[in-house]
Amino acid sequence: MIPVFEIFLNFLKIGLFAFGGAYAVIPLIEEQMVTNTKWMTFAEFSDLIAIDELTPGPIIVNSSTFIGMKLGGVPGAIAATLACMLPGMIIALTLIRLYSKYKEIPVILEAIRVLRCMSVALIFSVLIKMFMAAVFPDGFALKDVSYLSLAMVILSFFVLKKYKVNPLLVMLVCGCINLIASFII
């Protein structure tokens, strides 16, 4: 069991820097939980992202509750969830007070824009890692490439982009295809 206070602090950090939409939190969780603290493996982290998509609610809340629960039971889940939203709440309250006075704050707007650029790069970086893990399940070697996964990634992307299908449905179909394939092969 990891001390509740430590869980709280780690998620406070994640909550503070999760700028740029729901997915911005994914690279932060990967770095903090997998690389820094080693509280999770990359495989567990990949599972978590899939579970986040399966369940309703903001990704950051889902992930914090899930990780907190795994690390420290219900108290851990409460600590992680509260910590991940506390910075956002405090900043929102500060901004709304400033806002009624100044309306627009150029420094903050610019900071948000730059942080959004950072988010694009970070999510792309995690995407590469997840793609590698999915397509080369046994390490990077051309003979080990999982053609089925590769085909599913490309097809899913095409379907998502072209027909705007619910991502949840796409993922469930991918899971089923993999199951069926494992029975055939």
Partner 1 sequence: MFKKAWLLFINTFSISMTANSGYAMLGVIKNRFVDKYGWFTKEEMEDFIALAQSCPGPIACSSATIIGYESCGIVGALAAVFGVILPPFLMMILVTFFYTFISTNATVRIFITGMQAGVCAMLLDVVLGLFSGVQKMNKPFYYVMIILSFLYVRLTPYSIFFLAMICIAIAVVKTLLFTKKVEESL
Binding flag, residue 139, partner 1 (CB under 8 A): no
From the list 34, 65, 72, 79, which residue makes contact with partner 1 (rule: CB under 8 A)? Answer: 65
Size of the site for partner 1 (CB under 8 A): 99
Closest contact distance (angstroms) between CB of 180 and partner 1 is 9
Are the C-beta atoms of 14 and 84 separated by less than 8 Å? yes
Binding mask 85-114 for partner 1 (x = CB under 8 A): x-xxx-xxx-xx--x------xxxxxxxxx
Q: Evaluate whether 1 touches 71 at the Cβ level (below 8 Å).
A: yes
The angle subtended at Cα 58 by Cα 24 and Cα 88, nearest 5°, is 65
SS3 81: helix
161 touches partner 1 (CB under 8 A): yes
Rule CB under 8 A: is residue 4 a binding residue for partner 1?
no
Within 21-60, the residues that bind partner 1 by CB under 8 A are 21-23, 25-28, 31, 36, 46-47, 49-51, 53-60
To the nearest 10 degrees (0 to 180), the angle between helices 42-54 and 106-135 is 110
Looking at the Cβ atoms of 4 and 60, the one nearer to partner 1 is 60
Count of alpha carbons within 13 Å of 89, Cβ hemisphere only? 7
